[in-house]
Amino acid sequence: MPGFAVYAAFLLYPLLRSVQLSFYDWDGLTLGKWAGFANYQEIISDAGLRSAFGHALVLMLFFAVIPVCVGLLLASILNRAKVRGLPFFRTVVFLPQVIAMVVVAVAWRRMYAPDGTINDLLHAIGLGSVARGWLGDYALALPAVGFIGSWFETGLVTVLLLAGMSRISGSLYEAARLDGAGPVQEFFAVTLPSVRGEIAVALTLTVIAALRTFDLVYVTTSGGPGNSTSVPSYEVYHRAFELGRVGSAAAIGVTLTVLILLISLVINKIGDREGSR
């Protein structure tokens, strides 16, 4: 009972309060006016808000899909090669996870700057024509922010998959080799089916990270240039604390919460179904 009381006070009450506020037109200071579903209708009708949710879905590719693909490759190599000093490599790939996202964002913002490390490297290898202010480019700012997410999440995914692969019995690989399977066939016939549970966990964690990311966007681009990197969590902050539209911000937050729950349920449902086969 005490545990439920703490859970209700710090999670359920704020959530229900947000749902209540989402039905009001309120600036945070004066009395709010009942707005019905107007704040939710605005999410559908406002092109900027639709773009913000679209950007969050694009970031899922960088935060979840790319790290899982790269993590599978890295974990397979490290697991099969029986690399000496594996704990050291595991620590190195996991290192980004122990750095605060704000610190990561500041470091990458400096690297992406017109006189930053990335442009210096491009000039050094004769690709100076490609150099630019990456976070100020309308077309490339969102992929540039997403790439930071890929770099940040790959270590976590690799360590999760390595833990799963370490539990695979060597007899399964020996049986596959006796049947004439090569390294690629072994990966698809033995390794991949054995780590489906870890893949589902990794996708759930990284998808949630992609959809709720705020500090990375706030520090690197503040949603710009224009609104080309704006995401729902940044819109919640922008509308609540800069525009004084608390009701609209609450509606965006509630919609984002529902979206995260639905996507997480779908990923776990697919993972459970594949695991039961």
The string of pLDDT tens digits covering residues 187-208 is 888 998 889 889 999 999 999 9
Report the half-sphere exposure of 110 (CA within 13 A, side-chain side).
5
Q: Decide if 249 contacts 236 (C-beta within 8 A).
A: yes
Confidence grade of residue 277 (pLDDT, cut at 50, 70, 90): low
pTM for this predicted structure: 0.89
Question: Above 70 in pLDDT, residue 232?
Answer: yes
Q: What is the pLDDT of residues 78-131, one digit of tens each?
A: 887 766 777 787 788 888 888 999 999 999 999 999 999 999 999 999 998 999
Helix (H, G, I), strand (E, B) or coil at 221: coil
Confidence of residue 135 (pLDDT cuts 50, 70, 90): very high
> 28: which DSSP letter?
S
Mean of pLDDT over the chain: 90
Q: How confident is the model at residue 152 (pLDDT cuts 50, 70, 90)?
A: very high
Q: Per-residue confidence at 276, pLDDT binned at 50, 70, 90?
A: low
CA atoms within 13 A on the CB side of 138: 2
User: Cα separation of 53 and 132, whole Å?
Assistant: 27
Say whether the peptide bond before residue 225 is cis (omega within 30 degrees of 0): yes
pLDDT per residue as tens digits for the range 5-60: 888 888 889 889 999 999 999 988 888 899 999 999 999 999 999 999 999 999 99
Q: Do 161 and 198 touch, CB atoms closer than 8 A?
A: yes
| Partners of 24 in beta bridges | 34
Q: At what angle do helices 117-124 and 101-112 cross, to 10 degrees?
A: 40
Query: Angle, nearest 10°, between helix axes 47-60 and 196-212?
Result: 150
* Residue 86 tokens, joined: 């594996």
Domains of the chain, first to last? 56-230+259-273 (1.10.3720.10)
The pLDDT assigned to 274 comes to 63
Radius of gyration of the chain (CA): 22
- pLDDT for residue 257: 93
